[in-house]
Chains A and B, each alone.
Chain A
């Protein structure tokens, strides 16, 4: 599916992915985890790649193999640099009254494999879960 980079579309993206994850045979708990991981990745694209420009688009794709379910999110915005990522200290962030900054951490906790690809202006995050 191709969707606008808008928070108004988050529920639609979650439902789209959740529907496919259910059909693939995941448990209700796994479906929830997959929907949450995709929500976090999609929200990061809106905030960080496109900086809330809702005229931009995000491509959401489902790739299914025999043992693995993968969701791909593609954008043409500012690339995420995984090498600059460090695990967040939630207690410290609360002390500093900083919200968020924990989405990437959640994605890695919820999924079995996460990969980032960048080719020119094209960015892609691939999130996989085994069944």
Chain B
């Protein structure tokens, strides 16, 4: 067992090196050995996929290594991060070597020979050749899928760019959940660290959009399909989502930006799925409402300070919540009624913002 773990670690290092300029010292024999190693790791994946004890040990080793590589969160060098990656590690290695211009000419030629044996015989008897043909097919399929994504991206969605972006965001969300879950399994602090570092690297709005999409992904959504047959027991991405909710609840500033900058309809959907987040959202909305005062001359509700939430936006968000099915709608209405009662239960407009909000919702509904 120890030797297997050792091999795994060494291979993971080879994979990390394959992206660096160190490959300039690789000769054809090194390339062949690296690919052989990747093939062996695929067999390990196939063999121990259902073997819980070995699988867990391998997974733990990968996780530890990953965490060490970059204490701040996700590794800058994509490498083996989970057991499933082992199933297509030869594809990963090949791609990295193909794009690494530091690889010498002779080594590169050898790589091509290994990866692209040509038409070959479909039912080749020799196992290595069979593996090569399979890898060749995987690389070609990947190339075909990229062309397909490009064609759909450019010609498939027409004017409907929202729908096009939606599929991009959903894909990112699924990947984020997967990473969060892995990070959570390795270390309780992992998800927080990962999210913190992503927040610094990604443009804020797209970061928040991906978070919202991740919160909305249906629980039954399978992980993105892989080239390989899934051998590992599938884990639902639900746990990753819990990590996300937990993190948001602990970061009041990010939660406030989240509730402020995303569209009302999207937030209503999120609130409908996550009661804890709904409570915070409702609290923020009432808080923002308290900061508005009535301008008697203009006859409208205005913010006390610049950057506050304007009346129209507040009203739009409440209205959207009230269009959601019960119990969301009922809770929002009773919260508004309670605030109105606290203010003195006025029925005339222009005195309490809650009275006016309730009137606006009624008239708009």
Question: Are A and B interaction partners?
Answer: no
Interface residues of A (CB under 8 A from B): none
Chain B interface residues (CB < 8 Å from chain A):
none
